[in-house]
Amino acid sequence: MNGRTRWLGIIGYPIQHSLSPLMHNAAIEALGLDYCYIPLAVEPRRLRSAVNALQRLGFRGFNVTIPHKQRIMAFIDRLTPEAKLIGAVNTVEIQRNRMIGHNTDGRGFLRALMEDTGRSVAGKRVLLLGAGGAASAVGFQLAREGVTTLLIANRSSERAHGLARHLRGSSIQCSISVLPWTDKAIERGVQQSDIIINTTSVGMSPADPPLISSSVFRSNHVVYDLIYNPPRTALLKQAEAAGATAISGLGMLVHQGALSFEIWTGRRPPVEIMREAILRAIVP
Ligand code: NAP
């Protein structure tokens, strides 16, 4: 680091668990760039002053994680159409004292899915478990890519209906329905879908109950869990046992990060080096 080093970072609360500094600094080092990416714990009540400080200190940009992805939109000068549609910002670009809010989660998810399956999602039927910020990004991307049916199930049905209304209202041609958060309805949803995606945080802890009670997976199902730590959740193990394609959230983490990196530096980062940096940290 020196007087010309450009600053990047991630704001969240708490932030200790974040693996983004590892993968971004690995990419910076591999490309020999004069940047440094740091984790920043920002309490919700200090969000506005922290964002202003980053701008005044000359940061090039930063990532945004839980719990700030929605609230930060009020402090941003311009939102990309994608961030506006998704209703959340995960990447901020600072250009001559103007802050631009992006969201790379949806495109990161899609790149990872394509990389793992080699197939387009157009014409597929999808069951989306969860209706939070990540579900919104994934839902918009899937609908934009020509998914025919999107079934949404969430513990809080109000939130599921809110996401369904939001997706329907954005002139996207896709049939969107909400399922009750019951074992029976979710199992029926699995049977009616080609791709099953977990966007809830259930599965992060080994003590979490199974999301889907019995094994209803078929070998032609694609099961995608946005969780990347642990690398193989109970849901993915169930899917593997049925011979289905099981994909963890690691690829999405790497690709959403790679898209942010490109926005800040104008360079394509080495995604394999980013992936290895994370794997070293999470695989025992
Ligand atoms: P969020 O906005 O807080 O949403 C959390 C979701 O999890 C909601 O649908 C919530 O349901 C559900 N949930 C939480 N606890 C639950 C429980 N005990 N039973 C049933 N449902 C429960 O968070 P987010 O930003 O969408 O993130 C969700 C997950 O995606 C996290 O695990 C996060 O790490 C992961 N993620 C991964 C990536 C990646 O790059 N791989 C990117 C973004 C997020 P309610 O609405 O009922 O509370």
Residues 125 and 179 in one domain: yes
Ligand 1 centre and the CA of 116: distance in Å?
22
The predicted-structure confidence for 101-148, as pLDDT tens digits, reads as follows: 999 999 999 999 999 999 999 999 999 999 999 999 999 999 999 999
Question: Is residue 203 exposed (0-12), middle (13-18) or buried (19+ Cβ within 10 Å)?
Answer: buried
Residues 13 and 86 in one domain: yes
Show the tokens assigned to 92. Answer: 């901020």
What gap in Å lies between CA 30 and CA 34, rounded to an integer? 11
What gap in Å lies between CA 146 and CA 2, rounded to an integer? 48
pTM passes above 0.75 = yes
List Cβ neighbours of 147 (8 Å cut-off, separation of 6 or more).
Answer: 121, 122, 123, 124, 125, 126, 174
Q: How many CA atoms lie within 13 A of 97 on its CB side?
A: 1
What's the distance, CA 237 to chain centroid?
21
The number of folded domains in the chain is: 2
Ligand 1 atom closest to 250 (CA): 41
Best of 152, 201, 261, 278 for a ligand 1 pocket test (most atoms within 8 Å of beta carbon): 201
Residues 150 and 191 in one domain: yes
What gap in Å lies between CA 217 and CA 215, rounded to an integer? 6
Q: Quick count: other Cβ atoms within 10 Å of Cβ 7?
A: 17
Which CATH number goes with the domain that contains 22?
Answer: 3.40.50.10860
Residues 125 and 236 in one domain: yes
What gap in Å lies between CA 147 and CA 231, rounded to an integer? 27
| Residue 69 known to be catalytic | yes
Domain that includes residue 156, residue range: 106-248
Which CATH number goes with the domain that contains 192?
Answer: 3.40.50.720
CA-nearest of 56, 53, 88, 68 to 11 is: 68
User: Is 1 a domain residue?
Assistant: no
Check the CA dihedral 190-194-200-204 and report its sign: positive
Ligand 1 centre and the CA of 58: distance in Å?
32
What's the distance, CA 235 to chain centroid?
18
Q: pLDDT tens string for the chain (284 positions)?
A: 899 999 999 999 999 999 999 999 999 999 999 999 999 999 999 999 999 999 999 999 999 999 999 999 999 999 999 999 999 999 999 998 899 999 999 999 999 999 999 999 999 999 999 999 999 999 999 999 999 999 999 999 999 999 999 999 876 789 999 999 999 999 999 999 999 999 999 999 989 988 997 689 999 999 999 999 999 999 999 999 999 999 999 999 999 999 999 999 999 999 999 999 999 999 87
The predicted-structure confidence for 6-18, as pLDDT tens digits, reads as follows: 999 999 999 999 9
Residues 39 and 74 in one domain: yes
The residue contributing the CA closest to ligand 1 atom 1 is: 132
In short, whether 130's Cβ falls inside 6 Å of ligand 1 is yes
Show the tokens assigned to 103. Answer: 């969201």
Residues 89 and 184 in one domain: no
